[in-house]
Structure 1
Amino acid sequence: MEKLQAALDKARNSRRERTDPGVEVKPVAKETQPSGVDARWQALTSFDAKDADLIRHRVVTRHARKEATPFDILRTKALLQMRQNGWKRLAITSPMPQSGKTTTACNLALGLGRQRDLRAMLFDLDLRDPSVHAFFETQPPYLIGEMLTGAVSFEEQALRYGDNVAVSMSLHPETDPTRILLAEDTAEKLTSIQDAYEPDVMIYDLPSVLVNDDTRAFLKNADCALIVVRSDSTTYSQFEHCQREVAEQTNVLGVVLNAYRHDKRTT
Protein backbone atom coordinates (compact mmCIF):
# COMPACT_ATOMS: atom_id res chain seq x y z
CA MET A 1 0.00 0.00 0.00
CA GLU A 2 2.85 2.38 0.85
CA LYS A 3 4.53 1.67 -2.48
CA LEU A 4 1.31 2.40 -4.36
CA GLN A 5 0.86 5.70 -2.51
CA ALA A 6 4.43 6.72 -3.26
CA ALA A 7 3.89 6.02 -6.97
CA LEU A 8 0.72 8.13 -6.97
CA ASP A 9 2.50 11.01 -5.23
CA LYS A 10 5.35 10.85 -7.77
CA ALA A 11 2.95 10.96 -10.71
CA ARG A 12 1.03 13.88 -9.13
CA ASN A 13 4.24 15.87 -8.62
CA SER A 14 5.32 15.16 -12.20
CA ARG A 15 2.03 16.54 -13.58
CA ARG A 16 2.36 19.62 -11.38
CA GLU A 17 5.88 20.31 -12.69
CA ARG A 18 4.67 20.15 -16.29
CA THR A 19 1.81 22.62 -15.70
CA ASP A 20 3.27 24.96 -13.09
CA PRO A 21 4.77 28.02 -14.86
CA GLY A 22 7.05 28.58 -11.91
CA VAL A 23 8.86 25.32 -12.43
CA GLU A 24 11.94 25.49 -14.70
CA VAL A 25 11.62 23.20 -17.69
CA LYS A 26 14.83 22.05 -19.29
CA PRO A 27 14.89 22.50 -23.09
CA VAL A 28 14.96 19.45 -25.28
CA ALA A 29 18.43 18.92 -26.74
CA LYS A 30 18.62 19.82 -30.41
CA GLU A 31 20.09 17.48 -32.99
CA THR A 32 23.85 17.78 -32.87
CA GLN A 33 25.86 18.90 -35.87
CA PRO A 34 28.52 16.63 -37.41
CA SER A 35 31.80 16.77 -35.58
CA GLY A 36 35.34 15.55 -36.11
CA VAL A 37 35.96 13.68 -39.37
CA ASP A 38 32.35 13.99 -40.56
CA ALA A 39 32.46 17.75 -40.09
CA ARG A 40 35.72 18.06 -42.02
CA TRP A 41 34.24 16.17 -44.96
CA GLN A 42 31.07 18.26 -44.91
CA ALA A 43 33.15 21.45 -44.86
CA LEU A 44 34.62 20.63 -48.28
CA THR A 45 32.93 22.53 -51.11
CA SER A 46 30.67 20.19 -53.03
CA PHE A 47 30.44 19.88 -56.80
CA ASP A 48 28.43 17.80 -59.21
CA ALA A 49 28.95 16.51 -62.71
CA LYS A 50 26.40 15.72 -65.37
CA ASP A 51 26.12 12.07 -66.23
CA ALA A 52 26.28 12.86 -69.97
CA ASP A 53 29.55 14.76 -69.48
CA LEU A 54 31.08 11.92 -67.48
CA ILE A 55 30.11 9.31 -70.05
CA ARG A 56 31.58 11.45 -72.83
CA HIS A 57 34.89 11.24 -70.96
CA ARG A 58 34.39 7.46 -70.44
CA VAL A 59 33.69 7.84 -66.72
CA VAL A 60 30.87 5.32 -66.36
CA THR A 61 30.88 4.31 -62.69
CA ARG A 62 28.64 7.02 -61.28
CA HIS A 63 25.81 4.47 -61.37
CA ALA A 64 25.78 0.69 -61.42
CA ARG A 65 25.38 -0.38 -65.04
CA LYS A 66 26.81 -2.78 -67.60
CA GLU A 67 29.52 -0.38 -68.76
CA ALA A 68 30.75 0.04 -65.17
CA THR A 69 31.21 -3.68 -64.53
CA PRO A 70 34.91 -3.96 -65.54
CA PHE A 71 35.80 -0.99 -63.31
CA ASP A 72 33.64 -2.35 -60.49
CA ILE A 73 35.52 -5.64 -60.66
CA LEU A 74 38.82 -3.74 -60.58
CA ARG A 75 37.58 -1.63 -57.65
CA THR A 76 36.58 -4.67 -55.61
CA LYS A 77 39.74 -6.67 -56.31
CA ALA A 78 41.97 -3.69 -55.56
CA LEU A 79 40.09 -2.81 -52.38
CA LEU A 80 40.17 -6.36 -51.02
CA GLN A 81 43.89 -6.74 -51.69
CA MET A 82 44.65 -3.34 -50.18
CA ARG A 83 42.65 -4.15 -47.06
CA GLN A 84 44.42 -7.48 -46.71
CA ASN A 85 47.77 -5.71 -46.70
CA GLY A 86 46.73 -2.64 -44.72
CA TRP A 87 47.31 -0.34 -47.71
CA LYS A 88 45.40 2.91 -48.28
CA ARG A 89 47.49 4.83 -50.86
CA LEU A 90 47.09 3.69 -54.46
CA ALA A 91 49.17 5.19 -57.27
CA ILE A 92 47.99 4.82 -60.86
CA THR A 93 50.51 5.23 -63.66
CA SER A 94 51.43 3.94 -67.11
CA PRO A 95 54.55 3.44 -69.22
CA MET A 96 53.57 6.11 -71.75
CA PRO A 97 50.83 8.79 -72.04
CA GLN A 98 47.41 8.16 -73.60
CA SER A 99 47.10 4.76 -71.98
CA GLY A 100 43.96 5.49 -69.93
CA LYS A 101 45.39 5.97 -66.45
CA THR A 102 43.31 9.07 -65.64
CA THR A 103 40.17 7.40 -66.98
CA THR A 104 40.91 4.46 -64.70
CA ALA A 105 41.57 6.72 -61.71
CA CYS A 106 38.32 8.68 -62.14
CA ASN A 107 36.26 5.52 -62.60
CA LEU A 108 37.79 3.94 -59.51
CA ALA A 109 37.07 7.05 -57.44
CA LEU A 110 33.39 7.22 -58.41
CA GLY A 111 33.04 3.46 -58.13
CA LEU A 112 34.33 3.64 -54.56
CA GLY A 113 31.93 6.54 -53.96
CA ARG A 114 28.98 4.22 -54.56
CA GLN A 115 30.05 2.31 -51.46
CA ARG A 116 28.39 4.50 -48.83
CA ASP A 117 30.52 3.07 -46.00
CA LEU A 118 33.77 4.13 -47.71
CA ARG A 119 35.56 7.44 -48.17
CA ALA A 120 37.83 7.94 -51.17
CA MET A 121 40.16 10.70 -52.34
CA LEU A 122 41.52 11.39 -55.82
CA PHE A 123 44.62 13.55 -56.33
CA ASP A 124 45.64 14.75 -59.80
CA LEU A 125 49.42 14.57 -59.46
CA ASP A 126 50.15 14.67 -63.17
CA LEU A 127 51.32 18.20 -62.51
CA ARG A 128 52.77 18.83 -65.98
CA ASP A 129 49.51 17.94 -67.69
CA PRO A 130 46.60 17.95 -65.20
CA SER A 131 43.37 16.66 -66.71
CA VAL A 132 41.06 15.41 -63.95
CA HIS A 133 39.24 18.76 -63.97
CA ALA A 134 38.36 18.18 -67.63
CA PHE A 135 36.93 14.74 -66.89
CA PHE A 136 34.57 16.26 -64.31
CA GLU A 137 34.22 19.54 -66.23
CA THR A 138 34.70 21.61 -63.10
CA GLN A 139 37.17 24.24 -61.91
CA PRO A 140 38.92 24.02 -58.53
CA PRO A 141 39.37 27.32 -56.67
CA TYR A 142 43.12 26.76 -56.25
CA LEU A 143 45.82 24.58 -57.81
CA ILE A 144 46.81 21.32 -56.17
CA GLY A 145 50.39 22.60 -56.09
CA GLU A 146 49.27 25.52 -53.92
CA MET A 147 47.76 23.07 -51.46
CA LEU A 148 50.77 20.74 -51.40
CA THR A 149 53.19 23.63 -50.78
CA GLY A 150 51.04 25.03 -47.96
CA ALA A 151 49.81 28.20 -49.69
CA VAL A 152 46.20 27.10 -49.09
CA SER A 153 44.62 24.40 -46.97
CA PHE A 154 43.17 21.15 -48.24
CA GLU A 155 39.73 22.34 -47.13
CA GLU A 156 40.08 25.42 -49.33
CA GLN A 157 41.44 23.59 -52.37
CA ALA A 158 39.71 20.20 -52.58
CA LEU A 159 36.15 19.63 -53.76
CA ARG A 160 33.68 17.00 -52.58
CA TYR A 161 31.67 14.81 -54.92
CA GLY A 162 28.66 13.41 -53.12
CA ASP A 163 29.27 12.75 -49.45
CA ASN A 164 32.33 10.53 -49.59
CA VAL A 165 34.63 11.39 -52.51
CA ALA A 166 37.14 14.25 -52.31
CA VAL A 167 38.93 15.41 -55.46
CA SER A 168 42.07 17.56 -55.47
CA MET A 169 42.90 18.80 -58.98
CA SER A 170 44.44 21.63 -61.01
CA LEU A 171 43.63 23.80 -63.99
CA HIS A 172 47.18 24.69 -65.02
CA PRO A 173 50.55 22.90 -65.17
CA GLU A 174 53.18 23.46 -62.52
CA THR A 175 56.50 24.98 -63.62
CA ASP A 176 58.64 22.66 -61.46
CA PRO A 177 56.55 19.59 -60.60
CA THR A 178 59.43 17.32 -59.56
CA ARG A 179 60.36 19.77 -56.81
CA ILE A 180 56.85 19.42 -55.37
CA LEU A 181 56.54 15.66 -55.78
CA LEU A 182 59.96 14.95 -54.27
CA ALA A 183 59.61 17.33 -51.32
CA GLU A 184 59.24 16.00 -47.77
CA ASP A 185 56.70 18.77 -47.21
CA THR A 186 54.46 17.04 -49.75
CA ALA A 187 54.77 13.72 -47.93
CA GLU A 188 53.96 15.40 -44.62
CA LYS A 189 50.98 17.22 -46.16
CA LEU A 190 49.48 14.00 -47.48
CA THR A 191 49.97 12.32 -44.12
CA SER A 192 48.21 15.19 -42.35
CA ILE A 193 45.30 14.91 -44.81
CA GLN A 194 45.06 11.17 -44.20
CA ASP A 195 45.10 11.69 -40.43
CA ALA A 196 42.46 14.44 -40.52
CA TYR A 197 40.01 12.92 -43.03
CA GLU A 198 40.62 9.18 -42.52
CA PRO A 199 39.94 8.08 -46.12
CA ASP A 200 39.73 4.39 -46.88
CA VAL A 201 41.54 4.86 -50.20
CA MET A 202 43.72 7.69 -51.52
CA ILE A 203 44.16 7.51 -55.30
CA TYR A 204 47.13 9.30 -56.87
CA ASP A 205 46.88 9.88 -60.63
CA LEU A 206 50.57 10.09 -61.54
CA PRO A 207 52.41 10.90 -64.78
CA SER A 208 53.60 8.15 -67.10
CA VAL A 209 56.83 6.63 -65.83
CA LEU A 210 58.93 6.76 -69.01
CA VAL A 211 58.44 10.42 -69.95
CA ASN A 212 60.03 12.19 -66.94
CA ASP A 213 61.16 11.63 -63.36
CA ASP A 214 58.01 12.91 -61.61
CA THR A 215 56.54 9.50 -60.81
CA ARG A 216 59.88 8.19 -59.59
CA ALA A 217 60.05 11.18 -57.26
CA PHE A 218 56.65 10.46 -55.73
CA LEU A 219 56.20 6.69 -55.59
CA LYS A 220 57.82 6.47 -52.16
CA ASN A 221 54.57 7.98 -50.81
CA ALA A 222 52.33 5.22 -52.22
CA ASP A 223 51.57 1.85 -50.64
CA CYS A 224 50.98 0.21 -54.00
CA ALA A 225 50.50 0.98 -57.69
CA LEU A 226 48.38 -0.02 -60.67
CA ILE A 227 50.07 0.07 -64.06
CA VAL A 228 47.78 0.85 -67.01
CA VAL A 229 48.97 -0.34 -70.42
CA ARG A 230 47.28 0.16 -73.77
CA SER A 231 47.09 -2.97 -75.88
CA ASP A 232 47.41 -1.22 -79.24
CA SER A 233 50.35 1.04 -78.41
CA THR A 234 52.33 -0.05 -75.33
CA THR A 235 55.28 -2.27 -76.21
CA TYR A 236 56.41 -5.10 -73.99
CA SER A 237 59.78 -3.44 -73.42
CA GLN A 238 58.02 -0.27 -72.26
CA PHE A 239 55.86 -2.27 -69.88
CA GLU A 240 58.78 -4.25 -68.54
CA HIS A 241 60.82 -1.09 -67.95
CA CYS A 242 57.88 0.61 -66.23
CA GLN A 243 57.10 -2.37 -64.02
CA ARG A 244 60.72 -2.59 -62.91
CA GLU A 245 60.84 1.12 -62.07
CA VAL A 246 57.60 0.97 -60.08
CA ALA A 247 58.56 -2.22 -58.22
CA GLU A 248 61.76 -0.56 -57.00
CA GLN A 249 59.71 2.11 -55.21
CA THR A 250 56.46 0.45 -54.11
CA ASN A 251 54.28 -2.66 -54.40
CA VAL A 252 52.80 -3.47 -57.81
CA LEU A 253 49.13 -4.13 -57.11
CA GLY A 254 48.36 -5.19 -60.66
CA VAL A 255 48.29 -4.35 -64.35
CA VAL A 256 45.28 -3.01 -66.28
CA LEU A 257 45.12 -3.87 -69.97
CA ASN A 258 43.25 -1.08 -71.71
CA ALA A 259 41.77 -0.82 -75.24
CA TYR A 260 41.74 -4.55 -75.80
CA ARG A 261 39.51 -5.55 -78.70
CA HIS A 262 38.15 -9.06 -78.42
CA ASP A 263 37.52 -10.63 -81.82
CA LYS A 264 34.87 -13.31 -81.49
CA ARG A 265 35.92 -14.76 -84.83
CA THR A 266 39.13 -16.05 -83.28
CA THR A 267 37.36 -18.07 -80.57
Structure 2
Amino acid sequence: MSIIEKALDKNRARQPVPETTAEQAATPEAAAREPERWREPVSQEVSIDFAWLRKQGLIVPGDQRSSVAEEFRMMKRPLLNNAFGRHAAMRVPKGRLIMITSSLPGEGKTFTSVNLALSMAMELERTVLLVDADVSRPAIPRTLGFHADLGLMDVLSEPDIQIPDVLLRTNVENLTVLPAGRPHGRSTEILASDVMRDLVDDLHDRYEDRIILFDSPPLLATSEPGVLATHMGQVVMVVEADRTPASTVERAMHQLDSCGVVLTSLNRATPGIGIGGQYYGGSYYGIERDHVADTPAR
Protein backbone atom coordinates (compact mmCIF):
# COMPACT_ATOMS: atom_id res chain seq x y z
CA MET A 1 0.00 0.00 0.00
CA SER A 2 1.41 3.43 -0.97
CA ILE A 3 2.11 6.30 1.41
CA ILE A 4 -0.86 8.32 0.15
CA GLU A 5 -3.23 5.34 0.20
CA LYS A 6 -2.36 4.74 3.87
CA ALA A 7 -3.04 8.41 4.58
CA LEU A 8 -6.37 8.23 2.78
CA ASP A 9 -7.42 5.23 4.87
CA LYS A 10 -6.40 7.09 8.02
CA ASN A 11 -8.37 10.18 6.99
CA ARG A 12 -11.48 8.23 6.01
CA ALA A 13 -11.46 6.50 9.41
CA ARG A 14 -11.59 9.92 11.09
CA GLN A 15 -14.24 11.57 8.93
CA PRO A 16 -17.85 10.53 8.19
CA VAL A 17 -18.66 9.81 4.56
CA PRO A 18 -21.41 12.14 3.30
CA GLU A 19 -24.46 10.53 1.80
CA THR A 20 -25.23 11.12 -1.86
CA THR A 21 -28.77 11.06 -3.15
CA ALA A 22 -29.71 9.54 -6.47
CA GLU A 23 -30.58 13.01 -7.76
CA GLN A 24 -27.16 14.36 -6.77
CA ALA A 25 -25.39 11.41 -8.37
CA ALA A 26 -27.21 12.03 -11.62
CA THR A 27 -26.08 15.63 -12.04
CA PRO A 28 -23.38 16.48 -14.62
CA GLU A 29 -21.34 18.12 -11.85
CA ALA A 30 -21.29 14.91 -9.82
CA ALA A 31 -20.44 12.82 -12.86
CA ALA A 32 -17.50 15.09 -13.62
CA ARG A 33 -16.03 14.74 -10.12
CA GLU A 34 -13.09 12.47 -9.45
CA PRO A 35 -13.82 9.23 -7.60
CA GLU A 36 -13.46 9.72 -3.85
CA ARG A 37 -10.67 7.18 -3.58
CA TRP A 38 -8.45 9.42 -5.75
CA ARG A 39 -8.95 12.49 -3.62
CA GLU A 40 -6.19 13.72 -1.33
CA PRO A 41 -7.85 15.35 1.69
CA VAL A 42 -6.14 18.65 2.40
CA SER A 43 -6.11 19.61 6.05
CA GLN A 44 -5.58 23.35 5.59
CA GLU A 45 -6.49 26.15 3.26
CA VAL A 46 -4.28 29.22 2.93
CA SER A 47 -4.85 32.54 1.23
CA ILE A 48 -2.21 33.86 -1.15
CA ASP A 49 -1.80 37.61 -0.72
CA PHE A 50 -2.32 39.04 -4.22
CA ALA A 51 -1.21 42.53 -3.15
CA TRP A 52 2.05 41.01 -1.90
CA LEU A 53 2.51 39.16 -5.22
CA ARG A 54 1.98 42.42 -7.09
CA LYS A 55 4.52 44.23 -4.90
CA GLN A 56 7.16 41.59 -5.72
CA GLY A 57 6.49 41.76 -9.46
CA LEU A 58 4.97 38.28 -9.57
CA ILE A 59 2.04 37.08 -11.66
CA VAL A 60 -1.29 38.00 -10.08
CA PRO A 61 -4.22 35.76 -11.08
CA GLY A 62 -7.07 37.77 -12.56
CA ASP A 63 -4.97 40.83 -13.40
CA GLN A 64 -4.82 42.17 -16.92
CA ARG A 65 -2.05 40.94 -19.17
CA SER A 66 1.41 41.88 -17.96
CA SER A 67 4.91 41.46 -19.35
CA VAL A 68 5.77 38.95 -16.61
CA ALA A 69 2.67 36.87 -17.38
CA GLU A 70 3.57 36.83 -21.08
CA GLU A 71 7.16 35.80 -20.34
CA PHE A 72 6.05 32.83 -18.29
CA ARG A 73 3.44 31.83 -20.84
CA MET A 74 6.34 31.44 -23.22
CA MET A 75 8.50 29.64 -20.66
CA LYS A 76 5.92 27.07 -19.61
CA ARG A 77 5.01 25.88 -23.08
CA PRO A 78 8.03 23.61 -23.78
CA LEU A 79 7.77 22.20 -20.26
CA LEU A 80 4.09 21.38 -20.75
CA ASN A 81 4.75 19.96 -24.20
CA ASN A 82 7.39 17.64 -22.72
CA ALA A 83 4.99 16.59 -19.97
CA PHE A 84 1.77 16.26 -21.96
CA GLY A 85 2.85 15.68 -25.56
CA ARG A 86 -0.07 14.85 -27.82
CA HIS A 87 1.49 11.48 -28.60
CA ALA A 88 3.10 9.24 -26.00
CA ALA A 89 6.35 9.16 -27.98
CA MET A 90 6.66 12.94 -27.57
CA ARG A 91 6.42 12.85 -23.76
CA VAL A 92 9.48 12.96 -21.54
CA PRO A 93 9.51 10.11 -18.99
CA LYS A 94 8.21 11.59 -15.72
CA GLY A 95 8.08 14.94 -17.50
CA ARG A 96 5.47 16.18 -15.03
CA LEU A 97 8.18 16.24 -12.32
CA ILE A 98 10.06 19.51 -12.80
CA MET A 99 12.85 20.90 -10.62
CA ILE A 100 13.78 24.59 -10.71
CA THR A 101 17.28 25.36 -9.51
CA SER A 102 20.32 27.61 -10.09
CA SER A 103 24.07 27.52 -9.58
CA LEU A 104 24.19 30.10 -6.78
CA PRO A 105 21.77 31.75 -4.35
CA GLY A 106 19.99 34.89 -5.51
CA GLU A 107 19.67 34.09 -9.21
CA GLY A 108 15.86 34.04 -9.21
CA LYS A 109 14.92 30.36 -8.91
CA THR A 110 12.09 30.94 -6.40
CA PHE A 111 10.78 33.85 -8.48
CA THR A 112 10.77 31.47 -11.44
CA SER A 113 9.20 28.59 -9.48
CA VAL A 114 6.32 30.69 -8.15
CA ASN A 115 5.59 32.37 -11.47
CA LEU A 116 5.66 29.05 -13.34
CA ALA A 117 3.30 27.55 -10.77
CA LEU A 118 0.87 30.47 -11.01
CA SER A 119 1.02 30.46 -14.81
CA MET A 120 0.56 26.69 -15.11
CA ALA A 121 -2.38 26.80 -12.69
CA MET A 122 -4.19 28.95 -15.26
CA GLU A 123 -4.06 26.13 -17.81
CA LEU A 124 -7.33 24.36 -18.57
CA GLU A 125 -7.57 20.81 -17.24
CA ARG A 126 -4.26 21.05 -15.36
CA THR A 127 -3.44 21.11 -11.65
CA VAL A 128 -0.18 22.21 -10.04
CA LEU A 129 1.56 21.09 -6.87
CA LEU A 130 4.36 23.48 -5.84
CA VAL A 131 6.86 21.77 -3.52
CA ASP A 132 9.27 23.83 -1.42
CA ALA A 133 12.27 21.50 -1.59
CA ASP A 134 14.77 24.11 -0.40
CA VAL A 135 14.58 22.53 3.04
CA SER A 136 17.42 24.58 4.55
CA ARG A 137 16.14 27.97 3.38
CA PRO A 138 12.46 27.58 2.43
CA ALA A 139 11.02 30.62 0.67
CA ILE A 140 7.74 29.59 -1.00
CA PRO A 141 5.33 30.47 1.87
CA ARG A 142 6.99 33.83 2.47
CA THR A 143 6.93 34.62 -1.26
CA LEU A 144 3.23 33.78 -1.49
CA GLY A 145 2.39 35.67 1.69
CA PHE A 146 1.39 33.03 4.21
CA HIS A 147 2.94 31.00 7.06
CA ALA A 148 3.61 27.25 7.04
CA ASP A 149 5.04 24.89 9.63
CA LEU A 150 4.93 21.17 8.78
CA GLY A 151 5.79 19.91 5.32
CA LEU A 152 7.94 17.65 3.17
CA MET A 153 10.69 16.84 5.68
CA ASP A 154 8.13 16.00 8.38
CA VAL A 155 6.37 13.51 6.07
CA LEU A 156 9.70 11.88 5.21
CA SER A 157 10.98 11.68 8.79
CA GLU A 158 7.82 11.23 10.93
CA PRO A 159 5.74 8.08 10.25
CA ASP A 160 2.64 9.60 11.86
CA ILE A 161 2.61 12.62 9.50
CA GLN A 162 1.18 11.98 6.05
CA ILE A 163 0.94 14.04 2.88
CA PRO A 164 -2.74 15.02 3.41
CA ASP A 165 -1.75 16.44 6.81
CA VAL A 166 0.60 19.02 5.27
CA LEU A 167 -0.78 19.90 1.82
CA LEU A 168 -2.06 23.47 1.61
CA ARG A 169 -4.92 24.29 -0.74
CA THR A 170 -4.69 27.90 -1.93
CA ASN A 171 -7.19 30.49 -3.10
CA VAL A 172 -5.71 30.11 -6.61
CA GLU A 173 -7.79 27.46 -8.34
CA ASN A 174 -5.76 24.34 -9.24
CA LEU A 175 -2.73 25.34 -7.13
CA THR A 176 -1.69 23.40 -4.00
CA VAL A 177 1.52 23.93 -1.99
CA LEU A 178 3.65 21.40 -0.12
CA PRO A 179 5.89 23.38 2.27
CA ALA A 180 9.44 22.32 3.13
CA GLY A 181 8.62 21.55 6.76
CA ARG A 182 10.96 21.64 9.71
CA PRO A 183 14.73 21.42 9.02
CA HIS A 184 16.46 18.09 9.51
CA GLY A 185 20.16 17.40 10.03
CA ARG A 186 20.16 14.47 7.58
CA SER A 187 18.11 16.10 4.84
CA THR A 188 20.40 14.95 2.02
CA GLU A 189 20.22 11.31 3.09
CA ILE A 190 16.44 11.57 3.54
CA LEU A 191 15.97 13.04 0.04
CA ALA A 192 18.09 10.16 -1.34
CA SER A 193 16.09 7.50 0.50
CA ASP A 194 13.56 4.99 -0.79
CA VAL A 195 10.91 6.84 1.21
CA MET A 196 11.50 9.95 -0.89
CA ARG A 197 11.47 7.95 -4.11
CA ASP A 198 8.17 6.33 -3.16
CA LEU A 199 6.68 9.67 -2.16
CA VAL A 200 7.64 11.31 -5.46
CA ASP A 201 6.23 8.34 -7.39
CA ASP A 202 2.96 8.59 -5.45
CA LEU A 203 2.66 12.31 -6.08
CA HIS A 204 3.38 11.78 -9.78
CA ASP A 205 1.08 8.82 -10.32
CA ARG A 206 -1.90 10.06 -8.34
CA TYR A 207 -3.22 12.47 -11.00
CA GLU A 208 -2.42 12.39 -14.71
CA ASP A 209 -3.22 16.10 -15.10
CA ARG A 210 -0.85 17.24 -12.35
CA ILE A 211 2.40 19.15 -12.80
CA ILE A 212 4.72 18.96 -9.78
CA LEU A 213 7.23 21.80 -9.45
CA PHE A 214 10.11 21.52 -6.98
CA ASP A 215 11.81 24.73 -5.85
CA SER A 216 15.26 23.30 -5.13
CA PRO A 217 18.36 24.71 -3.39
CA PRO A 218 21.16 26.10 -5.58
CA LEU A 219 23.31 23.30 -6.98
CA LEU A 220 26.63 24.62 -5.69
CA ALA A 221 25.32 25.57 -2.23
CA THR A 222 24.41 22.07 -1.02
CA SER A 223 24.35 18.44 -2.15
CA GLU A 224 20.56 18.12 -1.89
CA PRO A 225 19.56 19.31 -5.40
CA GLY A 226 21.87 16.81 -7.08
CA VAL A 227 20.07 14.04 -5.19
CA LEU A 228 16.64 15.52 -5.93
CA ALA A 229 17.46 15.69 -9.65
CA THR A 230 17.64 11.90 -9.82
CA HIS A 231 13.86 11.80 -9.31
CA MET A 232 13.03 14.44 -11.94
CA GLY A 233 11.89 14.27 -15.55
CA GLN A 234 12.84 17.89 -16.34
CA VAL A 235 15.06 20.53 -14.76
CA VAL A 236 14.96 24.30 -15.29
CA MET A 237 18.33 25.91 -14.61
CA VAL A 238 18.01 29.63 -13.79
CA VAL A 239 21.10 31.68 -14.71
CA GLU A 240 21.46 35.35 -13.80
CA ALA A 241 22.86 37.35 -16.72
CA ASP A 242 25.95 39.51 -16.18
CA ARG A 243 26.63 37.84 -12.84
CA THR A 244 27.08 34.07 -12.99
CA PRO A 245 30.34 32.95 -14.66
CA ALA A 246 29.99 30.36 -17.41
CA SER A 247 32.46 28.12 -15.56
CA THR A 248 30.18 28.18 -12.51
CA VAL A 249 27.17 27.16 -14.61
CA GLU A 250 29.17 24.33 -16.17
CA ARG A 251 30.22 23.02 -12.74
CA ALA A 252 26.63 23.11 -11.55
CA MET A 253 25.36 21.35 -14.66
CA HIS A 254 27.55 18.33 -13.92
CA GLN A 255 25.24 17.56 -11.01
CA LEU A 256 22.34 17.19 -13.45
CA ASP A 257 23.77 14.34 -15.50
CA SER A 258 21.05 12.01 -14.21
CA CYS A 259 18.32 14.13 -15.81
CA GLY A 260 17.94 13.86 -19.58
CA VAL A 261 16.09 17.16 -20.10
CA VAL A 262 17.69 20.32 -18.70
CA LEU A 263 16.39 23.69 -19.84
CA THR A 264 17.97 27.05 -19.05
CA SER A 265 16.36 30.36 -18.13
CA LEU A 266 18.44 33.53 -18.53
CA ASN A 267 17.21 35.94 -15.86
CA ARG A 268 17.64 39.72 -15.50
CA ALA A 269 19.25 40.15 -18.91
CA THR A 270 19.38 43.37 -20.89
CA PRO A 271 17.95 43.64 -24.43
CA GLY A 272 20.18 42.05 -27.04
CA ILE A 273 21.48 39.30 -24.75
CA GLY A 274 19.75 36.02 -25.31
CA ILE A 275 19.50 32.49 -26.51
CA GLY A 276 16.63 32.64 -28.93
CA GLY A 277 13.75 33.50 -26.63
CA GLN A 278 11.63 36.64 -26.49
CA TYR A 279 12.12 40.00 -24.79
CA TYR A 280 9.31 41.66 -22.86
CA GLY A 281 9.25 44.88 -20.87
CA GLY A 282 12.59 44.83 -19.08
CA SER A 283 13.28 41.17 -18.37
CA TYR A 284 14.61 38.50 -20.68
CA TYR A 285 13.82 34.82 -20.33
CA GLY A 286 15.01 32.17 -22.74
CA ILE A 287 14.88 28.39 -22.72
CA GLU A 288 17.05 25.84 -24.46
CA ARG A 289 16.91 22.09 -24.17
CA ASP A 290 19.66 19.78 -22.94
CA HIS A 291 22.56 22.23 -22.62
CA VAL A 292 23.75 25.52 -21.21
CA ALA A 293 22.92 28.65 -23.19
CA ASP A 294 25.32 29.44 -26.02
CA THR A 295 25.64 33.01 -24.75
CA PRO A 296 27.48 32.67 -21.41
CA ALA A 297 26.28 34.53 -18.35
CA ARG A 298 29.04 36.81 -17.15
C-alpha distance after superposition, 1:82-119 (max 9, x if no partner):
33324111111111110111110111111111113101
Bigger drift between 186-195 and 58-67 goes to 58-67
Give the corresponding residue for 1:9: none
Residues 183 and 85 from structure 1, CA distance in 2 versus in 1: closer, same or farther, beyond 3 angstroms?
same
C-alpha distance after superposition, 1:11-44 (max 9, x if no partner):
xxxxxxxxxxxxxxxxx72314644369625645
Unaligned runs of 5+ in 1: 1-27
Q: What is the number of equivalent residue pairs in this alignment? A: 237
Residues 173 and 261 from structure 1, CA distance in 2 versus in 1: closer, same or farther, beyond 3 angstroms?
farther
Residues 170 and 56 from structure 1, CA distance in 2 versus in 1: closer, same or farther, beyond 3 angstroms?
farther
Give the corresponding residue for 2:16: none
Give the corresponding residue for 1:121: 129
Match status 1:31 vs 2:24: yes
The question of whether the paired residues in 1 share the 8 Å contact of 2:153 and 2:182 is answered with no
Bigger drift between 126-135 and 35-44 goes to 35-44
For residue 22 of structure 2, give the secondary structure of its aligned residue in structure 1.
Answer: coil
Residue type at the aligned position of 1:213: S
Tell me how far apart the structure 1 counterparts of residues 188 and 74 of structure 2 sit (CA, whole Å): 33
Find the structure with the greater CA-based Rg: 1
- Where do residues 3-152 of structure 1 align in structure 2 (5 Å cutoff)? 29-32=22-25, 34-36=33-35, 40=39, 43=42, 45-63=44-62, 65-66=65-66, 67-83=68-84, 84-86=90-92, 87-149=95-157, 150-152=159-161
Give the corresponding residue for 1:25: none
Residue type at the aligned position of 2:53: L
The equivalent position to 2:264 in structure 1, one of 246, 251, 255, is 255
Tell me how far apart the structure 1 counterparts of residues 188 and 45 of structure 2 sit (CA, whole Å): 30
The question of whether the paired residues in 2 share the 8 Å contact of 1:37 and 1:198 is answered with no
Residues 80 and 35 from structure 1, CA distance in 2 versus in 1: closer, same or farther, beyond 3 angstroms?
closer
For residue 232 of structure 1, give the secondary structure of its aligned residue in structure 2.
Answer: coil
Taking structure 2 as the reference length, the TM-score comes to 0.72
The question of whether the paired residues in 1 share the 8 Å contact of 2:149 and 2:182 is answered with no
C-alpha distance after superposition, 1:225-265 (max 9, x if no partner):
0100101321110111122321x11023310001112279x
Tell me how far apart the structure 2 counterparts of residues 125 and 263 of structure 1 sit (CA, whole Å): 34
Give the corresponding residue for 2:294: none
The question of whether the paired residues in 1 share the 8 Å contact of 2:204 and 2:210 is answered with no
Unaligned runs of 5+ in 2: 1-20, 85-89, 274-298
Give the corresponding residue for 1:13: none
CA displacement at 1:217 relative to structure 2? 1.5
Residues 54 and 38 from structure 1, CA distance in 2 versus in 1: closer, same or farther, beyond 3 angstroms?
farther
Bigger drift between 164-173 and 92-101 goes to 164-173
C-alpha distance after superposition, 1:140-181 (max 9, x if no partner):
352321123344111110112233122101365333221221
The equivalent position to 2:168 in structure 1, one of 159, 163, 177, is 159
